[in-house]
Amino acid sequence: MKAYVFTGQGAQFSGMGKELYENHPIAKQYFEKANEILGFRITDIMFNGSDEELRQTRVTQPAVFLHSVIQTIVLGEEFKPDMVAGHSLGELSALTAAGALSFEDGLKLVYQRAMAMQKACEMQPSTMAAVLGLADDVVENICNEINATGDIVVAANYNCPGQVVISGSIEGVNKACEALKSAGAKRALPLSVSGAFHSPLMQPAKEELEKAIDGTAFSTPVCPVYQNVDAKPHTVPEEIKANLIAQLTAPVRWTPTIINMINDGATEFTECGPGSVQQGLISKIKKAIAAE
């Protein structure tokens, strides 16, 4: 069975999508439609922008979404997924590619999500850090200990065995990094991000996005969509909407998502979007399954 996975924020690069735009008339049509919907020429930034411009959340999220979804549009009838999943932002790309959202509504939601998250980031200084070489429960226990002292830090992305991203207040993340290193982490490195995604600090963004999602029409997707909040397949629009709202303050359960897809019959994974980050994570998850 064929699974398609959609990349999240962080994989962007200058020049992304340019080959699609220049070589496929249908891609050019959709990129131009996106420029019109957004009210600015995001293609100019995608194709020629600086790294700093591309790191702006209002640009990054729609840029990665466009690159990912337009890739599947170019595939045409070759795009026949048996199941899909997306990492964080990539979940909206997956839902759009699978027909749960129209291209226009998917892009509008991504842009609203980006702006809401940016606002939440500005309300309180916050950050994230990558933790390598520790079991998930060790990371969770240390985060819980620090939360008990009044600082905020949570496990935000379960990317693959031995790789968890934590998220929270700057003080909370810094304290957690020190404690995690003492507990044997190979690395506990703060990331260059604008805020604490997938943490309680995204609650204002969640409330704002909930209104936008409630006002958007969702359809039954052409295949199951494995969602971040529970790593399980969903096809019922109301369930999909509830999980998408919850996603902003809940962790991305990527490791169990991929394990569940494999257990449900996935034999081939194709990554849609810039870069190949997900393929790297999937290969590590597959190795961990084989080693059990």
Options 88, 93, 194, 199, the catalytic residue: 88
Q: Which two tokens stand for residue 285?
A: 């998850």
Token pair 């934590």 in the structure block, residue: 166
Dihedral of the alpha carbons of 85, 89, 95, 96, in degrees to the nearest 10: -130
Give the Cβ contact number of residue 35 at 10 Å. 15
Whether 88 is a known active-site residue: answer: yes
Give the Cβ contact number of residue 89 at 10 Å. 28
- In 49-194, the DSSP E strands lie at 83-86, 126-132, 153-160, 163-169, 187-190
Measured between alpha carbons, how far is 254 from 234 in angstroms, rounded to an integer?
Answer: 15
Beta partners for 233?
Answer: 226
* SS3 of residue 195 by DSSP: coil
Whether 182 is a known active-site residue: answer: no
- Torsion-angle region of 255 (φ positive above 0: left; ψ -120 to 50: alpha; else: beta): alpha
From the list 114, 111, 112, 160, the residue with the least C-alpha distance to 134 is: 160
Q: Which two tokens stand for residue 178?
A: 């020190």
Options 126, 198, 199, 234, the catalytic residue: 198
One-letter amino acid identity for 200? P
DSSP state of 213: H
- 90: CB partners within 8 A, 6+ apart: 5, 6, 7, 8, 64, 68, 273, 278
Asked whether the beta carbons of 64 and 89 are under 8 A apart, the reply is yes
* SS3 of residue 194 by DSSP: coil
Q: Which residues are catalytic?
A: 88, 198
